[in-house]
Structures are given as C-alpha cells and as structure tokens.
Amino acid sequence: MVLGEFGELRRAGLSYRFAQATLETTITWRLEPEGAGTRLFLEHAGFDLDSPLGRKALDGMGRGWPSVLERLATVLAEPAG
C-alpha cells in the first residue's frame, strides 16, 4: 500500500504485453477533484475482439476489475497510519 499525496498528476497509464504477442492492452487512469475527494476514471483498452485470446482476456479482466476497484475503495477508506 502506498500512502501520501500526489501533485499535479492527472493522467497516467500502463501497457501490458502478454506472452502471446497478439495481446497488448493499455490501462489508463485519471484523477479529478470532486467535492472533498477525488474521482478515479479508469479505462482498460486494446483488446483484439477478432482474436479468441482477445475476447477471452476481455471477459476475464472485465470480471476482475470490479473486485480490484472494490478492494481499492476499501483500502482508501481505511484510516492512514
């Protein structure tokens, strides 16, 4: 877990390439102030839906993101320290 404050970074991303060269996806996120907090916008793109591997990856990762974001919300709600 990382605790701290971030400066002016509003958008960042990661690119993933799997062992199968046909699957390379990009995760992009941005942070925007909202009220007393911050809203996270996340996009996971680059799935080749013409490929069986791409469709399988989209299905698997699409089911996984809700639990990742739930866990993130839980961690962020915990008191620091």
**Cα-flanking dihedrals φ and ψ of residue 70, to 5°?**
-60, -45
Extended beta strands in the chain, E state: 11-17, 24-34, 37-45
Distance CA 81, CA 74 (A): 15
Global pTM value: 0.69
The model's pLDDT over 21-66, given as tens digits with 9 standing for 90+, comes to 667 888 888 888 889 888 888 889 989 899 888 899 899 888 999 9
Q: Cα dist. 69→14, 21, 46, 74 in Å? A: 16, 27, 20, 9
